[in-house]
Amino acid sequence: MQQVETISEMRHAVADARSKGKGIAFVPTMGALHEGHLTLVDEAKRVAEVVVMSVFVNPLQFGPTEDFARYPRTLDQDAKLAEDRGVDLMFTPTQADMYPEHAPVILIHPGSIGKEWEGAVRPHHFEGVLTVVAKLFHIVMPDVAVFGQKDLQQVAVVKAMVRDLNFPVGILVAPTVRDPDGLAMSSRNRYLSPKERELSLMLSKALFAMRDAFVRGERRASALEAIGWRMLERVVGLTPRYLAVVNADTFQRVNSVRHGDAAVGAIRVGETKLIDNIIF
Ligand code: PAF
């Protein structure tokens, strides 16, 4: 695996692969890799000869009170995991290289898709995500980029950006990887104490209960949301942030639930904020 730090080295490496007629699949990450990220690599390898992974903790997508400073940075371990899984090129730009003026003047706005849910509890988060993803797409110029279903609203805003701004990039979405007890894998899980981890499990349990009720025939979003809310509200030490049934493309709330709609939820346990979702 080749590891490159500067934007010009990255462009050069990609141009080299392209000149040999190779297709490029891209897995953008913020590092602290876990099996969820590595399944994105598997998906990328399935569709292209060259897999590029970026590791960049993007300051622009963190709010002033969020965990940017303490976000886990485990680059040596990430490089080993990425190489073992078959990443060809790892791009680890510095903040100075990505944001030479500290913050860009031009930002990409997520519009109505990014307004509610994560967009509401994390103002400007999706602006930060879309701006860095657009920059990375321009640097890496991939044919395809792979994102995880775990960040479903991120997937929706990225797909809309690609569509509305004509990026020549296909977007693939890989299913959420879960621990055996159902907890969705996340780099932030490592913040959890054993007790907090146990409490956090209720989010996936609530989402699974909503899905079970849908399978049994319940189609009213309000009834499904009530099932989930009842489960989250009774857990002492867990603060529900939102739980809703939405259209998975527009992220607008639905009344009558159809296959392909999603239940999205977020909780806070101690200092840790976690999100998860299921698709009906
Ligand atoms: O999903 C993430 O890890 C980040 O939001 C991304 C897409 C790498 C942008 O910083």
Q: Which position among 37, 102, 124, 125 bears the catalytic label? A: 37
- For the CA of 136, the closest atom of ligand 1 is 9
Average pLDDT over residues 178-206: 98
Strand pairing partners for 253? 246
Cα(246)–Cα(43) distance, rounded to whole angstroms? 26
Show me where the domains of the chain are located: 2-174, 187-279
Closest by Cα among 232, 162, 178 to 202: 232
Cβ of 187 closer than 6 Å to ligand 1, yes or no, is: no
Percent of the chain with pLDDT over 70: 100
Other C-beta atoms lying within 10 Å of the C-beta of residue 197: 17
Rounded to the nearest integer, the mean pLDDT of the chain is 98
Q: What is the pLDDT of residue 154?
A: 98
Confidence of residue 238 (pLDDT cuts 50, 70, 90): very high
Cβ of 129 closer than 6 Å to ligand 1, yes or no, is: yes
Cα(104)–Cα(131) distance, rounded to whole angstroms? 9
Which CATH code of 3.30.1340.30, 1.10.3720.10, 3.30.1300.10, 3.40.50.1100 fits the domain covering 187-279? 3.30.1300.10
Q: What is the pLDDT of residue 87?
A: 98
Q: What is the pLDDT of residue 41?
A: 98
Interhelix angle 125-140/152-164, nearest 10 degrees:
60
H/E element, 51 = strand 50-55
Q: Could you tell me if residue 256 is left (phi over 0), alpha (psi between -120 and 50 degrees) or otherwise beta?
A: beta
Spatial neighbors of 241 by CB under 8 A, at least 6 apart, are 121, 265, 266, 267, 268, 273
Cβ of 28 closer than 6 Å to ligand 1, yes or no, is: yes
Pull the structure tokens for residue 186.
Answer: 């996340």
Average pLDDT over residues 156-167: 98
Q: What is the pLDDT of residue 102?
A: 84
Annotated active-site residue 124? The verdict is no
Per-residue pLDDT at 192 exceeds 90 = yes
Which CATH code of 2.40.440.10, 3.40.718.10, 3.40.50.620, 3.40.190.10 fits the domain covering 2-174? 3.40.50.620
Average pLDDT over residues 202-221: 98
The gap between the terminal CA atoms of the chain, to the nearest Å, is: 38
Amino acid 101 reads: E
